[in-house]
Structure 1
Amino acid sequence: MLHWSLTFDIQKWQMEFSKNGRVKCWTLIERSTWQLLETEGVLTCPISAANDDPIFQDAYAWMKHSMASAGILAPEPGLTPWWCWVRCGENHPEPYIEDAEGLHDPVVLQLSVPAEQIVLSCFDLWHFVLNKCYVWASELDEQDFDRAMENAEEGSDAASKLQRRMQKSWSAVFELDQTAVDMGPFEAKSIQGCFWTLRLADVTAVIERDALTSHH
């Protein structure tokens, strides 16, 4: 049942943000990677290229599992998905210059990705996954979970059940119109995307870092 609901939410927003079956998005990469894409035509991202912080590794593993549950499978083992912006904020879909921090000689690729290949999620709710926090469905639900956590002994069956309950709650990151956790109006939500294969044929524009505007 959970997989059906997850797939429904993912497909719903694939359709909502697509035009002619494709989703417009932006990914930030280093120029050397862009040059490699120009040469190879198709790139996947090895898991060794992902942030090696355990916090990120656990969250990425959960995202990969969620993508697989929705039928969006990695083309081969040992990969991590490409991340992109579908909408940075209200009236500002493309990335800000601050998003390029930490990249050596970055460029932004504007892409048109087949809708069925991309999973959209709420950027702000994603931090609940990163920080291993419970995504509550109501104020009462939040209070109930907090009480249960206080009473559960570490390593107990009750604690394990609460961990599963927490992980199940993370599916809300794919419910872009959820309102239980106030992330502002839908039109202003920051929306990110994940996909497995970066294709030169999907690149519609290359934007230099200096052309990006500041968030401040």
Structure 2
Amino acid sequence: MQAFPIRDAEPEQAVPTGRMGYDLDAERLLLHTVQSAEAFDALLTTGTLTTDPTLAEAEFADAYDWIHRMMAARLPTSGEGALWFWARTRRRHLVDSCRRSRGQVLLTCRVPRERVLLSHFDEWHMVLNRAPGMPRLPGESEDDAFARWEEAQDELATRLRAAGLRDAPIRNWPPALRNAIETSWECILDRGNYGPFECWQGTVHALHTTEVVEAVRII
């Protein structure tokens, strides 16, 4: 049974003013997600929202396969695919997301922390772009960090060209090379690698109506 409020609002009013209140150390994490009207209806009807992994963009199949395996290894839950949430972002970014999502539904949720896999939002793009994960070292300048990353990226490209695999999916790479890049990505799951004000995303196997605090239909 639905036990949370549902309201309609323009994007600017969909997100409360003031501090967002994110706390990545809380027992129940504050999360936000924008879902389609159809997904919201499914949540209301069944009490649980999951996702169909076949709907993921084929271009990023290797990236999604990796995050799904990380979820399977690190979370107590199971399931196919992942639901994506903001675990910490700026209010203006969330409002901008709502502006691009009229007709959809913004869900504010509180989910037990142990059921959420956190990953660094910006560095997730290293995974999407099949690039080495490489956070900045303590005391390292931004320029030096970038130069170190470029060197690793060039080395990877050279090895792929030599193997005739420049455009091949990661799943077709030699095991040692695939393991090396996938292991490097695990840095984006460790909050200790980044500063205190970074944007973080969260993935879960399922969302239950009991974990929804509010739903806003974006008009």
1:166-191, Cα deviation, whole Å (9 max, x unpaired): 11100011123425xxxxx431x211
Is 1:207 matched up with 2:216?
yes
Query: Is 2:84–2:202's contact at 8 Å kept on the other side of the alignment?
Result: yes
Shift of 1:105: 1.5
Provide the secondary structure at the position in 2 that maps to 1:121: strand
Query: 2-side partners of 1:151 and 1:172: how far apart?
Result: 22
Shift of 1:117: 0.5
CA 40–165 in structure 1, closer or farther in 2 if over 3 Å, else same? same
CA 146–136 in structure 1, closer or farther in 2 if over 3 Å, else same? farther
1:19-47, Cα deviation, whole Å (9 max, x unpaired): 3x211101111122212211211122122
1:59-101, Cα deviation, whole Å (9 max, x unpaired): 11100101112144424xxx21100001123xx3972333563
| TM alignment of 1:118-157, pairs within 5 A | 118-136=116-134, 139-140=147-148, 143=151, 146-147=154-155, 149-150=157-158, 153-155=162-164
Query: 1-side partners of 2:128 and 2:203: how far apart?
Result: 15
Runs of 5+ in structure 2 lacking a partner?
A: 1-22, 136-144, 166-172
Query: 2-side partners of 1:104 and 1:144: how far apart?
Result: 41
Shift of 1:150: 2.2
Task: Please report the RMSD computed on the Cα atoms of aligned residues, expressed in angstroms.
Answer: 2.7
Query: Is 2:102–2:218's contact at 8 Å kept on the other side of the alignment?
Result: no
Provide the secondary structure at the position in 2 that maps to 1:25: strand
Runs of 5+ in structure 1 lacking a partner?
A: 1-15, 180-184, 211-216
Query: Is 2:116–2:202's contact at 8 Å kept on the other side of the alignment?
Result: yes
Superposed structure 1 runs of 4+ greater than 4 Å apart: 137-142
CA 70–198 in structure 1, closer or farther in 2 if over 3 Å, else same? same
Of structures 1 and 2, the one scoring higher in RCO (CA 8 A, sep 6+) is 2
Query: 2-side partners of 1:93 and 1:191: how far apart?
Result: 15
Give me the identity figure in percent.
Answer: 23
Is 1:165 matched up with 2:180?
yes
Aligned to 1:4: none
Provide the secondary structure at the position in 2 that maps to 1:206: strand
Query: Is 1:83–1:192's contact at 8 Å kept on the other side of the alignment?
Result: yes
Provide the secondary structure at the position in 2 that maps to 1:105: coil
May I ask how many residue pairs the two structures share in their alignment? 178
Is 1:58 matched up with 2:51?
no
Aligned to 2:16: none
Aligned to 1:69: 73
Query: 2-side partners of 1:194 and 1:144: how far apart?
Result: 28
2:119 is aligned with what amino acid? S
Provide the secondary structure at the position in 2 that maps to 1:113: strand
| TM alignment of 1:57-136, pairs within 5 A | 57-75=61-79, 79-89=80-90, 92=91, 95-98=94-97, 101=100, 105-136=103-134
CA 24–71 in structure 1, closer or farther in 2 if over 3 Å, else same? closer
CA 144–40 in structure 1, closer or farther in 2 if over 3 Å, else same? closer
1:201 is aligned with what amino acid? T
Provide the secondary structure at the position in 1 that maps to 2:62: helix
TM-score normalised by L of structure 1? 0.71
Aligned to 2:52: 46
Aligned to 1:178: 193
Provide the secondary structure at the position in 2 that maps to 1:96: helix
Query: 1-side partners of 2:105 and 2:75: how far apart?
Result: 31
Aligned to 1:26: 32
Query: Is 2:49–2:208's contact at 8 Å kept on the other side of the alignment?
Result: yes
Query: 1-side partners of 2:159 and 2:107: how far apart?
Result: 49
Shift of 1:131: 0.6
